[in-house]
Amino acid sequence: VIGVVIGKTDVRSFPDRKNIGSERYTFSFTIRDSPTYFINVTSWGREEYIRALSESFRVGDCVTIENPLVQSKEAEREEKFNPITPSCYKLLLSENHSVVKTSSCYEMDTKLLSLLHLPVKDPQDYYSLGDITANGQSLDGRILNVLAAVMSVSQ
């Protein structure tokens, strides 16, 4: 699978249920290879493997994923922590079988770069910050998609 990384989580750790006293590490990212299709990728493993893999690329890089495990996603559980994707599958990376290679999008396909700036949601499914400010009380308790731009960053 070849695509541009459009999102990425931080590395997290969880107690390992099989090996009491040790931890398993994970992180996820989302890749896109067309305006319509993108998929979530998750990797679990030893701390050294997960940290090295996470540090090997960033959002905006093009990656080639070899030998991922294709799994059906559990929609309710998966989409609490990852972007909602149009696919009913997810990719799982294994330390022993999978390989992630990074390369310049210019080397691979400049069309991939244009995918980085496309929204992952339907353009009719957003609230503006003005809508939220004006209608805040009636939106209380609802989950909303927000489309906003960062104008500046300061201390």
% of residues, the chain, pLDDT over 90: 36
Tell me if 137 is assigned to some domain.
no
Mean pLDDT within 119-133: 78
Tell me if 63 is assigned to some domain.
yes
Question: Closest Cα to residue 43, out of 34, 32, 55?
Answer: 55
pLDDT for 43 equals 94
Examine the pLDDT at 58 and tell me if it is beyond 80.
yes
pLDDT band at 29 (very low <50, low <70, confident <90, very high): very high
What average pLDDT does the structure give for the chain? 84
Contact present, 41 and 30 (Cβ < 8 Å): yes
Q: Residue with structure tokens 């960053």?
A: 153
Q: Which domain holds residue 49?
A: 2-115
Tally the domains of the chain.
1
Contact present, 84 and 118 (Cβ < 8 Å): no
pLDDT for 134 equals 87
pLDDT for 76 equals 65
Whole-prediction pTM: 0.77
pLDDT in tens, 131-143: 888 887 787 777 7
For the chain, count helices (H), then strands (E). Answer: 6, 8
Which residue intervals of 5-152 are DSSP H helices?
47-55, 75-81, 105-108, 110-115, 129-134, 136-139
Residues in CB range of 105: below 8 A, 6 or more apart: 4, 60, 61, 62, 112, 113
Mean pLDDT within 48-75: 91
CATH of residue 30 = 2.40.50.140
pLDDT for 125 equals 76
Q: Which helix (H) or strand (E) holds 6?
A: strand 2-8
Tell me if 131 is assigned to some domain.
no
